Structure 1
């Protein structure tokens, strides 16, 4: 083993304060491709003090308006924790079957989702003080992303001397959804209205509604082993909660909106778009004809 200083990167200045991204790498010359790199060797003995994992810097005892941001090799750390790491159209998908996130190189914006039916499946977008980047084929992310994937639970990620320690615990994400009896109730909770299509499939036998305070409305139609889900939320992020990889992705214009439709085998499984400050998603299981999906997108407001 030999230690090699790979990079010192400056994170973006925010409100006049700068964060410094530093990592040291170890490379095994006997491993094909050079092997993976190891985390930062930090001289510290403390629990990581916040969810962003930034560390104050002092010079001669004087605190600076700057902090250090620990960067780690994503695959080397995530895979031993049970996550798969795959490239997906220029982004990196991290998924353990329950918890998912999609990392975009060069963008300091992260969202954690879950596929558990009893949980909401989506955090609010958050920043970790540094954007992911790639060096010699290795993707680096802030250590705080691992903490978020493990539920931001105290004690999961710690520094002990010159060692980073990660202890997994059961991940429980809070469920902000409130079950609603009527669409009007869901609209009151979310703080905005949702217009549903006037014509819906005749196979529907059950309708359920949920809402997130000042954030989202979800309506799910079920019947004959089929499901159609419609979501409307504030902001512009993808709220479909669908991290499947599909054979096709097409962009079409529906009533002046840019609608992205994804699917497989000629069927449309999910459509996402934004309109007038709101974000929308329609998903169908199994998939439907693309014309039906775009008709749904045109009708949902």
Structure 2
């Protein structure tokens, strides 16, 4: 028997007025291209009814990169473009995975990030809409793995079993967001939805699938996700994303604040020091060539402190200065490296992929 759900979904709106007997699923791929014209939502938001992948939405991707570049304390991974709003510029609603950068282990949350880009191309974060926030006892835990539902065989199987009998509204699964352990498991799936009747518009729905211990599956709950309903408004729960970082003028000051010794050169080729900051347990130095940034960190302990949660096709190891560095990249270049000396952890993350030789040279100069 299912227990009561405890979503920390600050962003959830009212359940759809349609009864549960009139829902249906469309097993289309999340990035399938739809042909219906965009339908504005109340408040001026337009649901993205085409490709949701950021790689297919270069303007939103560029705005996300600009808006999050100097955001301290959290690392964000853009998962999908959910919608846009045309103002004096453009507002973007982007589904993100938010990872707290904490040397003692941070929280993973699922949010809708709102970004405003003005007509000059300046972009800033204007707010968040929390779907899965801080983990509560008995609540949902954010997915920290692959978000494509078809890549999660158990979840996808339960989803198809539960949704096959529903009629009246079609649902296209876009992302597997998280799970909740009950007497069985609840899975939270973000779907693009549309009524099966003339003139119906697209929307976003949060579908909870319950799978019991025998493998049977059923729909537990379906709630609308209304764009623009940011935290701190209406009935939304407030989930504070604070800034634990402090800017410093020198590497020495940052290292002292972090509780480590830290030595880096003043430049790597054309990359020069552009920003220095620290928090408890981690010191960070950013190098810029005017267009791209290389971020170098050193922290206490042996955990990965890079804040880089990208998935790479190529992963290799290299012995450098007596330590084994893990090099990560896609294609021919290397974009990230992490290693430890047994007492402290180190990382290098580059906006632009470097040659293996360049990355190894950088690593050799960090102490």
Q: TM-score, normalised by structure 2?
A: 0.42
Compare relative contact order (CA 8 Å, sep 6+) and give the higher one, 1 or 2. 2
Q: TM-score, normalised by structure 1?
A: 0.50
